[in-house]
Structure 1
Amino acid sequence: MANEYATRDELKGQLGIETADTSRDALLDKALTAASRGIDRATGRRFWLDAAPTARTYRLHARVVCQEDGDVLLVDDIGDTAGLMVESASAGGGTFTPVTGYETTPDNALADGFAITGLLRPNGIWGTAFTRIRVTARFGWPSVPDDIAEAALIQATRLYKRKDSPEGIIGSAEWGVRNLSRRDPDVWNLIEPFVVPGFG
């Protein structure tokens, strides 16, 4: 298991399974992985952090927001500034050169437990439409938000129990037989604030 948003033991607690009972571990792990990757797809981002800085290259087209205090380059979520490096290259395959004098946005994002989503050039611009920007950073989130962890547990529980309702129909002595809803409203309420704007 790697990069799941909840642990197997947490899921066992949710389902009332003893921690020492390992007979269903493979099914539980599968449900946790599917729930976590489903949240990634639904939100358009991931909430685990790269182990080491990696480089990503951006073209400025449709990625720059002009603000009163300068241009903001929208980047993939950055969860740690250790090893953060920004470089630019002009059109025609020029050599990348270091960029200084930028700020991360939103202000205090990492301190508040959120990811950095933009790089601001105070009172400046990032270049032309043909400029390429290379950002080396640890991409992802500083830690898994509580709402995302809870959504993963709810969805993993639902996926684990799905084996008992292969046709999408569940039975209950209290409610009778009913169809499963396409989207769990509690999961959606928990993850909706994290959906990348324009993605969901």
Structure 2
Amino acid sequence: MGIGDPYVTLPAFKEYINVKPGTISLDQTAQMAIEAASQEVEKITNRQFNKAEVATARLYRPERCGEAVLVDDFYTTTGLLVEINTSGTTWVTVPPSDYELEPENGIVDGQPGWPFWGIRRISGLRYPVHHWDGRKSTVRVTAKWGWESIPGPVRQACLIMASEAFNMKDAPFGVAGMDMWGPVRVRDNRVALSKLARYTRDKLLVG
């Protein structure tokens, strides 16, 4: 799936909510629920879990110390290009020998398959930091953005949230029932949020 595509397909969602094969009367409503849930996943996690097939450039602001820059997720080093701007007009390529990617080997808590999101300078080198004169975006990264594959828990969370969004037509005032904590609102599913918790990151400083 490309950047911006939903995280689950319509057939998979219909199977999840036990819609009989061949039933199409609610397809438009179901598709809208899938798209809304996918956007909500991205809003909660501050991540895009699909992948771009072509490398494109994005601008970033390094940490104040200049040791590293946090970027959007990218899933491969193929096509990766890191550049810095020290003058405000000229971009200079940073050789791969001058930085390391994080997380190392794409492994988090022993689990492989994670994308890279940090580019740290090594050997005492620093990124230029020009917050004081308004030139904030001193790092330009060209990469294939996103994840190699969508994590299973993210797909599951999307299915749960899409199911609840789909059922909102039958939920007065957005309330789907009661539990031990009181009214259950369809946008506050604790199971879905718990599945997304480990994939949530802070918003980036860009621009």
TM-score bin (small chain): 0.7 to 0.9
Name the CA distance, whole Å, in 1 between partners of 2:177 and 2:145: 43
13 and 41 in structure 1: CA distance in 2 versus 1, 3 angstrom threshold: same
Amino acid across the alignment from 2:103: P
More strand by share: 1
Question: What SS does structure 2 have at the residue aligned with 1:27?
Answer: helix
Amino acid across the alignment from 2:68: V
Hey, what does 1:104 align to over in structure 2?
101
In the alignment of these two chains, the number of paired residues is: 188
Name the CA distance, whole Å, in 2 between partners of 1:24 and 1:145: 27
Amino acid across the alignment from 2:199: F
Hey, what does 1:5 align to over in structure 2?
7
Displacement of 1:58 after TM fit?
A: 1.6
190 and 171 in structure 1: CA distance in 2 versus 1, 3 angstrom threshold: closer
Q: Say yes or no: does 1:163 pair with 2:169.
A: yes
Write out per-residue CA displacement over residues 138-170 of structure 1, whole angstroms, 9 at most, x where no aligned residue.
111111100000000000001101111132244
Q: Say yes or no: does 1:189 pair with 2:194.
A: yes
Hey, what does 1:94 align to over in structure 2?
89
Deviates more, 1:29-38 or 1:93-102: 93-102
Q: Say yes or no: does 1:143 pair with 2:149.
A: yes
Displacement of 1:107 after TM fit?
A: 1.0
CA RMSD of aligned residues (A): 2.5
Check whether the contact 2:60–2:69 (CA below 8 A) recurs between aligned residues.
no
Name the CA distance, whole Å, in 2 between partners of 1:139 and 1:55: 10
63 and 116 in structure 1: CA distance in 2 versus 1, 3 angstrom threshold: farther
Name the CA distance, whole Å, in 1 between partners of 2:48 and 2:8: 14
Hey, what does 2:78 align to over in structure 1?
82
Write out per-residue CA displacement over residues 168-191 of structure 1, whole angstroms, 9 at most, x where no aligned residue.
24469xx9xx83335100001000
Question: What SS does structure 1 have at the residue aligned with 2:169?
Answer: helix
Check whether the contact 2:46–2:203 (CA below 8 A) recurs between aligned residues.
no
Runs of 5+ consecutive residues of structure 1 not aligned to the other structure = 65-70
Runs of 5+ consecutive residues of structure 2 not aligned to the other structure = 131-136
Question: What SS does structure 2 have at the residue aligned with 1:6?
Answer: coil
Name the CA distance, whole Å, in 2 between partners of 1:97 and 1:128: 11
Q: Say yes or no: does 1:52 pair with 2:47.
A: no
Aligned residues with identical type, % of pairs: 30
Question: What SS does structure 1 have at the residue aligned with 2:83?
Answer: strand
Check whether the contact 1:168–1:179 (CA below 8 A) recurs between aligned residues.
no
Check whether the contact 1:35–1:152 (CA below 8 A) recurs between aligned residues.
yes
Hey, what does 1:180 align to over in structure 2?
184
154 and 185 in structure 1: CA distance in 2 versus 1, 3 angstrom threshold: same
Which of 18, 21, 24 matches 1:22?
24
More helix by share: 2
Amino acid across the alignment from 1:103: E
103 and 19 in structure 1: CA distance in 2 versus 1, 3 angstrom threshold: farther
Question: What SS does structure 1 have at the residue aligned with 2:78?
Answer: strand
160 and 54 in structure 1: CA distance in 2 versus 1, 3 angstrom threshold: same
Question: What SS does structure 2 have at the residue aligned with 1:56?
Answer: strand
Amino acid across the alignment from 1:9: P
